[in-house]
Structure 1
């Protein structure tokens, strides 16, 4: 158990006092001043979406990389700039922050903002691990902050239409759900000597909570996604969107976490410095409707600029809801319902969640967390599903597809998913060798306590619910 020192106690007390005094009472016509923290592709996009909401000003720009900072300054010339987000937190004129940093920074930056009396919009996954995600929820509650997760599709109006259609019984009872993400990536390379951080990056601030370990890839930025120290792989990149759709549309947020999770896969064909799988398959036992998920970063065929497809339905849709009388397939912005023969019987058209930023600003004004479409606890759970799939994979042992199949012999969707893998790999000129595939262990989860139970509660598994934080950048036990 962590015991706060007198110094840390006084700091927390001061922050709590700051939070109470820093919150401006905003009238309907008052301008909301936003700080954008993290200004890469997604961060710049988020700033632009916020700036389009009436009554919003991008007033502060923050990034450890001065190249990104200078580029953003051209768009928002009146905004203050800093490489150190702590200066943002100290500014009482800032009402809210948008956190679009690397995953390893998401929670600490958001907690600091809550403690400083600022509301938060935080990119997905909202956490780097499950334990710290819960700490962010605790901070939002303690400091009474409006905290929105960056899963924009929560604000897509077509989701309500789809829920009503599923409830109508036209497709019959849901049998299982197949989730997919087939997005192309490439090797990130492997250096013989560690990468020297660019001189325009304050590397201490870029690292923040992450460990200072040698970087053996070719680029510092973006490719942090594919190492566990700073990222969560493709499952943590696109998975929060897809699994949040699943939790919202299929389970109506009634299932926080699955009861059991099993995963496997490998990083195949690249021989690079990446650690996360480019071929990842996962099973989620919800105690109700079973879910399987397939994640590929390889193309449909070597040399082809086209993503893979789910062979049974000939689609790359994010979510296929298999029902007694047909199925639904769809992704961001819409989808279609099909009868048992495959004929389209209804189409759904959405906007991809274009009002998500406006929803955040509206909730800031109302001070009602219930007004948020992506309230932080909901998105914490959706992110946690991804972390669980990654943990099962990371605990896996070298094996093969037959061993993976044997883990769920009687579940046909699992067998079908794994049976498609050899053709996909062959199309990418990959011949599996013994041990190329990791087969994870089935993890049993106590959803209420957000931990593992039974034989799953090994020291190795429990350790992956959290992480070791770098000195000076610790996510606190007591927020």
Structure 2
């Protein structure tokens, strides 16, 4: 729905002001009935649409609103929804704030680019709606902390899309790791070797495509001319909107490491990487990166390589918990134990690989809806999203500055590094303002 610039600025000012006032709490507009939950989707491409399709498999779910800044995407998705559920006529929006004003919506899915996760989630909590937000939680550490504060203040159910947390074979592997059967865990490896992204040539700037509200797509990000390389899926290659493989796959794999080791924030972070594999790649984020985290009692290593797929243990993604008696390796397909050998004997029991069934996303969306109805905490609450996004952001900042960073979780700040502190903060373009909670 079109809005004038005056209406746009007026609404933004109202929302920012209400967020800054400690006495203003927006009560839930309605409570989801046990037999019916109404969903609105913000960001209809890629994972946002995938999340919605997963959620609509559940009984008692209906989608009553779609929002996207690209009218072409919005029209196509509305037709697909009608084909999937004949007779469905969702309200269509190009401004997410108007969707949030719809009091019939119980649940909001946020499937936007990373730089647009924070404000819709905070405003949705203020409006009394529960939220399923894609990972990574946000594009800066400051935004992550603001989102945690919003969930706690408005007491909403928020599930972050780190859906491995709802997978049985992931939970089995974590339980095995924590059982002590592989002995003292001395290090953890996480990685993503993704075979895509080999070619990404530069493109000239061009006029904004018909039907795209480009100023709204940019939102709080730096104003730049429209360039197709920065739009839709390839936004992940640019710091304004995302953090490359680190915040894409790292948000999944590092999360499993934190879960398994029962830790949240590192003491220090150092990184080395660059565009070593494909130096002519037109993106900003590295194609090759290694990040080393110090958690005091063990190091955690993140490795990423764009354009190749033969990662550690011959898996293109995964997590390895390395203990004195064996190693547990897990990815989306399976987990297995690789025992150490001493005097011709395994030091921990050998066992066949344990396989997943590929239905973890469906379990994750079901867990979310179950918690919307029960008001219990979901499998991946906002705090878990914050912790892994913190680690991913620190890794990228250490790489960008070429410096070792020291983190103080008590004060939630980088110690003695002004440039790193600036990169940890949200850099918002007017008139957008990060709420103060």
Q: Distance in 1 between matches of 2:353 and 2:300?
A: 23
Report if aligned partners of 1:18, 1:115 keep a CA contact under 8 Å in 2: yes
Q: Distance in 1 between matches of 2:303 and 2:60?
A: 42
CA displacement at 1:15 relative to structure 2: 11
For 1:136, which of 139, 147, 168 is the aligned residue? Answer: 147
Secondary structure of the 2:421 match is helix
In structure 1, the partner of 2:337 is: 337
Alpha-carbon distance change, 15 to 121 in structure 1, aligned in 2, over 3 angstroms? farther
In structure 1, the partner of 2:85 is: none
Secondary structure of the 1:44 match is helix
Point out 4+ residue stretches in structure 1 off by more than 3 angstroms.
5-18, 214-219, 313-317, 341-344
Q: Distance in 2 between matches of 1:153 and 1:21?
A: 29
Deviates more, 1:204-213 or 1:12-21: 12-21
Q: Distance in 2 between matches of 1:8 and 1:99?
A: 18
Q: Distance in 2 between matches of 1:216 and 1:188?
A: 13
Q: Distance in 1 between matches of 2:16 and 2:306?
A: 46
CA displacement at 1:14 relative to structure 2: 9.5
Q: Distance in 2 between matches of 1:26 and 1:233?
A: 36
In structure 2, the partner of 1:187 is: 199
Q: Is residue 38 of structure 2 the alignment partner of residue 33 of structure 1?
A: yes
In structure 1, the partner of 2:269 is: 261
- In the TM superposition, 1:46-57 aligns within 5 A as 46-57=51-62
- In the TM superposition, 1:57-76 aligns within 5 A as 57-76=62-81
CA displacement at 1:356 relative to structure 2: 0.4
* CA shift digits 1:239-261 (9 cap, x unpaired): 01001111112x23xx2211110
In structure 2, the partner of 1:447 is: 409
Q: How many residues align?
A: 410
Q: Is residue 162 of structure 2 the alignment partner of residue 151 of structure 1?
A: yes
CA displacement at 1:328 relative to structure 2: 1.3
Q: Is residue 185 of structure 2 the alignment partner of residue 174 of structure 1?
A: yes
Alpha-carbon distance change, 81 to 16 in structure 1, aligned in 2, over 3 angstroms? farther
Please report the TM-score for the alignment, with normalisation by the length of structure 1.
Answer: 0.81
Q: Is residue 390 of structure 2 the alignment partner of residue 384 of structure 1?
A: yes
Q: Distance in 2 between matches of 1:76 and 1:315?
A: 36
* CA shift digits 1:110-166 (9 cap, x unpaired): 011111111111000011010110000101111111111000011112233223322
For 1:298, which of 307, 327, 337 is the aligned residue? Answer: 307
CA displacement at 1:213 relative to structure 2: 1.9
* CA shift digits 1:41-84 (9 cap, x unpaired): 21110110111111111110010011211111013232111111
CA displacement at 1:200 relative to structure 2: 1.9
How large is the RMSD of aligned CA atoms in angstroms? 2.3
Structure 1 alignment gaps of length 5 or more: 300-306, 397-440
Secondary structure of the 1:26 match is coil
Please report the TM-score for the alignment, with normalisation by the length of structure 2.
Answer: 0.88
In structure 2, the partner of 1:469 is: 428
In structure 1, the partner of 2:242 is: 231
